[in-house]
Amino acid sequence: MSEQPAIAVVTGASRGVGRGIAVALGFAGMTVYVTGRTLSGQGQEEVNGQLLGGSLEETVQLINRAGGRGIAVACDHADDAQVASLFGRVQREQGRLDLLVNNATFLHSQLVAPGPFWTKPLDMVEMLNVGLRSAYVASYHAVPLLLAASRGLIVFISSYGANCYMHGPAYGAQKAGCDKLAADMAVDLEGTGVAALSLWLGLQHTERSALVGAASGVDYSAFLAQAETPEFNGRVIHALLNDPELEQLSGQTLISAEQALRYGIIDSEGRQPASLRHQLGAPVPTHPARVG
C-alpha cells in the first residue's frame, strides 16, 4: 500500500451500514468519499412512519472526528452521469483509489411487510437498479482508479438473503447478483492486484433495523443484542484490504463474522458476533468453468 493515506469510496453512506463502514475506515486514517442523496438536513425515507435521520455532512463530521478525512459527494446512484462525475472527481483530486464499498441500495418501506411479492408495490424491483446495476456501474468507473493504485479492493455488501428466502425475490436476487458480480469481476481482474469480494453481513444494529423491529410487533431486543454494528464490518473490510493474501480471496463470498474471527476483530462491548451459516445457509461456490 502507498505511504499516503488510502483512498476509499463508500456508496450509500448518509446513514446506517454505509455510515458505520465509512467511520471505521476513517478511524483507520483513510480518506473516505461518501455518497448518498442526502447531503444535509434530513432525507425523505420513512420506516414505521418515522423519517430516518442522517446526512452525508454528518457522516463526514464523524469520519473527521475519528481521525480520517471525509469528503461528501451528493450522488443518486440511479443516475449513471452522477456516478461517472463522482469518480471523475476522485481522479482529479486523488489520481487513484484503493477501496470501493458498494453499499448503496434501494430499501422499500414495505420491504419486510407480510405477503407475497405480487401484493407489494412494483417499485420494490428498484433494488435491481440501485443495489445491483448501480454496483456494476460504480465498479466500472472505479477499476481504472484502482489499477492506478496497483493494489485495491471492491467490496459488495451482501447478506444471507442471497441463498435463503429473505424479504422476497427482489431482495434475494439483488444480493445473489452482488455475489456473482464479485465472482465474475474477480476473473477479469486476475493478475492486476485488484480483488473483488462479496461480504455477507448479519443483522445490523442501525436506526432502520430498530424501527423495522418496532413495526413488526415482535420483540427484537434479543436479536439486536447479538447484532453487528456497521463499524464492526468496516473494520473487517479494512482488514481484508490489508490482508497479504487478498489476491487468493478474490472472487469469494465471505461471511463478515467469520472473517472477524480470523482477524481477531471484536464488536462493541467485547461482543463477538456469530456466523449464521448454520441457521441461514452458506455461500455457494462458483463452478470453475469459464466460457469466454
| Residues annotated catalytic, as ranges | 171
Q: Report which of 81, 107, 80 is spatially closest to residue 12, judged by C-alpha positions.
A: 107
Query: 46-47 and 50-51: which strand pairing?
Result: antiparallel
Q: What are phi and psi of 228, to 5 degrees?
A: -85, 140
Q: Which three cell numbers stand for residue 18?
A: 454505509
Q: What are phi and psi of 106, to 5 degrees?
A: -90, 120
Residues 274 and 227: beta-carbon distance below 8 Å: no
Task: Say which residue the cell 475519528 belongs to.
Answer: 66
Contacts 24+ apart (CB under 8 A), 41-47: 43/14, 43/15, 45/107, 45/109, 46/109, 47/109, 47/207, 47/208, 47/211, 47/212, 47/215
